[in-house]
Chain A
């Protein structure tokens, strides 16, 4: 992501240090990850120590310090989904993709994350891929669903 775009986002928030999280959220949404150069630029523009930027970029799970895959798989492991067997769905997806939550596969095809409740509990267990929710997932169905993603 180029420096000018980052500066634009910082300016939009009037270079307010209290807007640090909002600024990083915008960069994350556009770029899908936070490169080190972006963190350094934000630290410089907001006059905020790098340690604070680092802490926030690692404390909050919305941020990724590594590039993400083309398709982001979010498996809900909230209580309602858990009680309906989400952990078995997660195990099967881990086996099929070869990655664990927080990881991206080597082809940069899939990134896997667990989330703690998407608010669609009636459809549990829920697997969200690229923002689209697949409800009432069973371990046996996961292979079919994943195959449809290039």
Chain B
């Protein structure tokens, strides 16, 4: 297995070919904040919080570390004025949806993000996609997915599947950073006709 040597925050890091910058950093004990990353799932690259500066061949640019493959001799900086400014904005944008999320609050403290920068939005899902991807890639049940696009994008259970699978599973619940998932589940259960009562299905 070929080895690639790169620099992260001044530290020399040895990584395997095919690793992402985030994985390389984690292997060296360097922490980069993430919201949509999970070691059991394919990288998603949606929250952009893990953005870092990469300098290579004289050029510096910003890349998303959970999907950027390691390259020989690149210099990575996980914190900088611009990186911090962008992370702060991302957190503030997310907190318009879920100001009470513990994960967001902790990160907000670190980056000085103001939870009231933006007017509150009605939905508190932050679209990390962990629930959707976990159900698809790990459980392989596909009981929950995304619908629509743009600012109208949402998570949505497939009621017929959810009534059969979810009551006895609920493994995705602990992944949700905002508990929007639990709310969506309860709503789906409530809107489903009594004939598809979740508990009755599970009892079979």
Give A contacts to B, CB under 8 Å.
49-52, 54-55, 58-59
How big is the B interface, by class? Answer: 10 to 19
Out of B132, B148, B158, which one reaches A50, CB within 8 Å? Answer: B158
In the complex, the chain B residue whose C-beta lies closest to that of A61 is B149
Out of A49, A52, A54, A59, which one reaches B156, CB within 8 Å? Answer: A54
Q: Are A51 and B145 in contact (CB under 8 A)?
A: yes
27 A-B contacts (beta carbon < 8 Å): A49-B136, A49-B142, A49-B145, A50-B142, A50-B145, A50-B158, A50-B160, A50-B161, A51-B132, A51-B136, A51-B143, A51-B144, A51-B145, A51-B146, A51-B158, A54-B145, A54-B147, A54-B158, A55-B145, A55-B146, A55-B147, A58-B147, A58-B148, A58-B149, A59-B147, A59-B148, A59-B149
Contacts of A49 in B (CB 8 A): 136, 142, 145
Query: Would you call the interface of chain A mostly helix, strand, loop, or mixed?
Result: helix
Query: How far, in angstroms, from A50 to B160 measured CA to CA in the complex?
Result: 10
Query: How far, in angstroms, from A55 to B148 measured CA to CA in the complex?
Result: 6
In the complex, the chain A residue whose C-beta lies closest to that of B142 is A49
Contacts of B149 in A (CB 8 A): 58-59
Q: Smallest distance from the beta carbon of B135 to chain A beta carbons, Å? A: 8
Query: How far, in angstroms, from A124 to B142 measured CA to CA in the complex?
Result: 45
Q: Smallest distance from the beta carbon of A125 to chain B beta carbons, Å? A: 24
Contacts of A54 in B (CB 8 A): 145, 147, 156, 158
Contacts of B136 in A (CB 8 A): 49, 51
In the complex, the chain A residue whose C-beta lies closest to that of B154 is A58
Query: How far, in angstroms, from A52 to B158 measured CA to CA in the complex?
Result: 11
